[in-house]
């Protein structure tokens, strides 16, 4: 998953926008700069699933960030439907039974299944509050190993854990890192963040960047600056 040398294919722009019209405007503005887009809950539930199909039809790559988790049969059926959409990546929570069901359902397709380890908005106290006995780093590495054994296509983790995850999953699995913030950018609700260049050097295959691009006064310039930093770090 890291064979792409064109950093435009390794930057995933998060379309964390309120509706399809706003997302369409962002994609138009980024035409020729960005090729890969993330659609999460906010946009998905505002017509974004049909928009995802439109992006695929237009030759764009789509990262569908649904973080699936349910009983095995329901996960499998959901994945079977998503395979038909033609998207490039899909997230699910890194629970072994759910991962095994998803891998079986996606077998023979080009869909890259990504295991979400620990959300980048969570720190150690957040995990304690949620009932976990592990710190974020330990839990991320445990789930990365489970994802590898289940046959997943990649991992979603903080860039601060990318180097350790890369050592576990090897060179071929995707390591997708949200929580990317260019130097001087506001952290927002993220707690475990890293700059684009540092994330590439740490072993990230793909960077997910939303607000620093879509909320920028000049989206094209913001995306181009991030791509240039990624290229310089490769």
User: Does 70 show up as a binding residue in the annotation?
Assistant: yes
| Spatial distance between the Cα atoms of 227 and 74, rounded to a whole number of angstroms | 38
**Residue 120 is assigned to a ligand binding site:** yes
Instruction: Please check if 66 is assigned to a binding site.
Output: yes
67 among annotated binding-site residues: yes
Whether 61 has a binding-site annotation, put simply, is no
Would you say 207 is a known binding-site residue? no
Is 69 assigned a ligand-binding role in the annotation? Answer: yes
Asked if residue 38 belongs to a known ligand binding site, the reply is yes
Q: Binding residue per annotation — 58? A: no
Q: Does the annotation mark 67 as catalytic?
A: yes
Is 142 one of the annotated binding-site residues? Answer: no
Question: Is the distance from CB of 186 to CB of 225 less than 8 angstroms?
Answer: no
6 catalytically annotated = no
Question: Of 54, 70, 126, 135, which residue is the catalytic one?
Answer: 70
What's the rounded Cα separation, in Å, for the pair 197 and 183? 10
Establish whether 55 is an annotated binding residue: no
Q: Is 16 annotated in some ligand binding site?
A: yes
Which tokens go with 18?
Answer: 């309120």
Give the active site residue among 4, 9, 60, 67. 67
Angle subtended by helix axes 136-150 and 96-106, to nearest 10: 40
Q: Is 28 annotated as a binding residue?
A: no
Residue 58 annotated among the catalytic residues of the structure: no
Of the candidates 160, 150, 162, the one whose C-alpha atom is nearest the C-alpha of residue 115 is: 150
- Point out the residues that are catalytic: 65, 67, 70
Annotation: binding site for substrate: 16, 38, 65-74, 120, 181, 190, 210-211
Annotation: binding site: 16, 38, 65-74, 120, 181, 190, 210-211
């Amino acid at each position: 998953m890291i064979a792409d040398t064109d950093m435009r294919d390794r930057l995933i722009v998060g379309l964390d926008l309120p509706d399809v019209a706003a997302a369409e405007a962002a994609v138009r503005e980024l035409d020729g700069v960005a090729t890969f887009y993330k659609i999460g809950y906010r946009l998905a539930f505002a017509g974004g699933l049909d928009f995802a199909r439109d992006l695929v039809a237009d030759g764009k790559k789509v990262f569908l960030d649904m973080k699936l988790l349910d009983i095995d049969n329901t996960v499998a059926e959901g994945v079977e439907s998503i395979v038909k959409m033609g998207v490039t990546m899909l997230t699910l929570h890194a629970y072994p039974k759910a991962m095994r069901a998803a891998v079986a359902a996606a077998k023979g397709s080009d869909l890259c299944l990504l295991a979400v380890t620990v959300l980048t908005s969570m720190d150690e106290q957040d995990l304690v509050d949620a009932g976990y006995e592990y710190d974020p780093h330990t839990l991320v590495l445990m789930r990365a190993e489970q994802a590898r054994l289940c046959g997943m296509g990649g991992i979603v983790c903080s860039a601060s854990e990318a180097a350790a995850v890369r050592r576990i999953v090897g060179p071929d699995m995707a390591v997708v890192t949200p929580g990317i913030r260019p130097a001087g950018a506001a952290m927002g609700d993220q707690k475990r963040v890293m700059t684009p260049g540092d994330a590439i050097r740490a072993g990230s295959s793909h960077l997910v960047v939303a607000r620093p691009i879509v909320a920028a006064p000049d989206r094209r310039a913001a995306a181009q600056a991030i791509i240039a930093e990624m290229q310089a770090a490769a």
